[in-house]
Amino acid sequence: MRTLLRGRVRGMSSATGAVLIEGGIVTWVGEGTPPDHPDEEIVAEAGELIAPGFIDLQVNGYGGHDAATGPAAMTAISAALPATGVTAFLPTLISAPVHEGAAFVAATEAAAFGAPGARVLGAHLEGPFLNPAFRGAHPAAFLTDATRENEDVIAAARPRLVTIAPEVPGALAAIARFHREGIVVSAGHTGADFELGRRAITAGVRFATHIYNAMPPIHHRQPGIALAMILDPRVTVGLIADGEHVHRAVCEQLVRSKASSRIALTSDQTSAAGMPPGTYQLSSRQVISDGLVVRLKDGTLAGSAASMDALVARMAGLPGMTVSRAIGMASTVPARLLGEHGLGRIGVGACADLVILDPNLKVRLTMVQGLIKFRR
């Protein structure tokens, strides 16, 4: 089956581009008609854009389903996310006992086989090696030190991404080991200062979980770990650009000081995302959503209800930003962080995980492996 998408393609200056898909892979990109005529042709309308599918590194839940409950919930999330342009994601677990974290990784691997919509790329364990003073919505009872025993459990489970506070006892050794073993290590929920942040990067930190949130603010005499993450070109930072977690002006400052190729839009979605305002679950905690942000009963931020396409649209509207750069933050950047060379781009040999966005950057069509998973 050969499918041709025709229209304006991200990365091409012409409005008459086309992408040929065969067997779930992009086999030709150009203008006009490909050498092999397609069996099906899908034409983007005027003002629409063909772009790489989005990749979300932090999805606790979606559509009333909490990823912590197991493979069935992850499967339901996979089926729902293409409506937001997401074609791949990391199910995410907030702090839990280490053996429960290992079980979550196994559940994620089970959900990856036969995922009906967005690809399940592995687990993101957000904790439990976090600073209690910066725990946010994480249960204090589950936070623990990065002892060698705990480190062994997580390393054996092999999550795709782990969030650690570098100041937790044993954290620097755990960071170095996880990095050596190919696990992406992120700094987050941390009170570390600038110098410790630099040491953590040397040890192997390559990501910052929801930059600015759950870490000390940047001060001109005490810049803190956030600035260490922003200044180092080896580090990609996760940004929840919903207007609540990070002010619009600070988002603008970030893209001026950090290359957009090192900023990954992340939703930090909970089960409240894609649902009306109300009360929902975040792992073992009850949270309240107003339709955009999610909080504990005491008002503590506990994730987001924003969609990835909405985050892209917000970023594209910043001064000096372009639609192409904003799309890259949701596709190319996270793909590169994870080493997924076939994702996050449009080119010969790339996976046919694609979206068609309307002029308002709303998703009209989403394909995963060349198959339509959402159409509006």
Which residues are identified as catalytic?
Answer: 268
**Is the separation of the CB atoms in 205 and 212 below 8 Å?**
no
Element (H, E) at 50: strand 49-52
Q: Is 153 helix (H, G, I), strand (E, B) or coil?
A: helix
Closest CA to 340 of 54, 19, 144, 82: 54
HSE-CB for 149 with a 13 A CA cutoff: 5
User: How far is the C-alpha of 204 from the C-alpha of 207, rounded, in Å?
Assistant: 9
User: How far is the C-alpha of 323 from the C-alpha of 314, rounded, in Å?
Assistant: 10
Distance of CA 280 to the CA centre of its chain: 21
Q: Sign of the CA dihedral 157, 161, 164, 166?
A: positive
33 CB-contact burial (10 Å; exposed 0-12 / middle 13-18 / buried 19+): middle
**Local structure of residue 188 (DSSP, 8 states):** -
User: How far is the C-alpha of 318 from the C-alpha of 348, rounded, in Å?
Assistant: 31
**Is the separation of the CB atoms in 200 and 166 below 8 Å?**
yes
Q: Letter for the amino acid at 101?
A: G
User: How far is the C-alpha of 279 from the C-alpha of 207, rounded, in Å?
Assistant: 31
